[in-house]
Structure 1
């Protein structure tokens, strides 16, 4: 067994990726690596020197592109292995699981937009805060409300007109979607559990590491969970503060605990905010009806690629 000291290397070649050809490299061994995580099978990739020196070896983790582990990641892993690294490319989706293709994504978004026909008139231009305000004012019978608003909508009578009248449930879905998600083929939404990480470009890694150590403590997370409301540590579910809030929210935390596996987690890359801001203006144009879903998503993909290039994640 080889002991590792790991560092994370994130990159991607998502929409419009280049073809990548691997060249056999001397003194390198590599193979697909099947492993299990939280009861599910994943297939990653490992590369390492054919004749590693004894003792502790430098290691690297390579984050794969949006569509999964491909030749580019394998090639990069083998290149690092020639320099003495033990490299692992984890599979974040699971065996046989990949994101929806472009046309499927467009159809899904059109389905959601069609639901606006029965929504309050302010909904097309609403941010998540305004959606919460609309729901708290009793102007919608159901809605997709950002978790940070759930607490005041359910419990604060000075702000909400629906205190005591709110329940939680999984979002409405097209036929077949829930079954696919339950089988591990895709997901029904995005769960922001409060994700933290350290980009490889961080200029103050020691301060970042200290903050991560602080915010990740079980005794700190309950206040975060009640205020947000969101859960990062599984131990948080049993905290008295969270149990009390769960009752007020009519089982919100129970649903996250029991059905959270149906939602995707935080993005795999450390540049989520930059890509989001680059694509948001186009997304709002789609919501306002100024762009078709097809044209808008194509433009969002192009904007994301341009931002990734400016951040150094594209050649």
Structure 2
């Protein structure tokens, strides 16, 4: 039986991983504010990691919030400190985990409307979210763990039944603000949580893959196409277009930042595609049909035009 240690197992992604890995026959151990080991008890975390096959770190405060001083400080702390502590724990192991996959974000790339950003030639951006992502990956890289393969997972917007950062979009649609945002042409890369789980298992099984890995569905849509699909999934017949200034007012209502919807995120999963990974939810219509609990064949969700960005 294989053993996986999940840090940050209480969140939306972590809960899904915990359930799916246990169902697949893995021995699942957790690190968090509660669990098999808790943050601050590095020796207990080391004991938990001893001889494990895989460590997956998903710990970190959600960025779907207002960037107040308190929230920004917690966004940074919850990523850097937990990653650094895991690094110390792995380094102290006599039999360290074979693999350590640490969450990062596709937001590390620049605002891109001209081409997809892949692992080989993607250009890093600037701003608070990018600075957080850079610091997160730098802390991960600094861990002295030569026996463990380390992969930063540059995860795009994750969605799935019961949670994920689709909620702000759903809220806007229900408020009648579900039209295009800004000019509506900003790109939106995303991943269904089940494909995120499957990608992690795939990476564990494919030892030849190294370095940062982008996690995104092969279809990218524009914000205009996304919001049409969100309205259909919520059975909202119309939505007012929201210029950037009006969106800022709406963002206060739903307590999130406008960057979530105005930045163009166009991310390509080049390494996964080249290694032969297949997506269960390659297009937005199928993903939203699953999330809404309706049969994909009978859903009224419009199928967004496919743009393969290998």
Decide: shared fold, TM above 0.5: no
* Structure with more relative contact order (C-alpha pairs < 8 Å, separation 6 or more): 2
Max Rg structure: 1
Q: TM-score range by the shorter chain?
A: under 0.3
Q: TM-score, normalised by structure 2?
A: 0.28
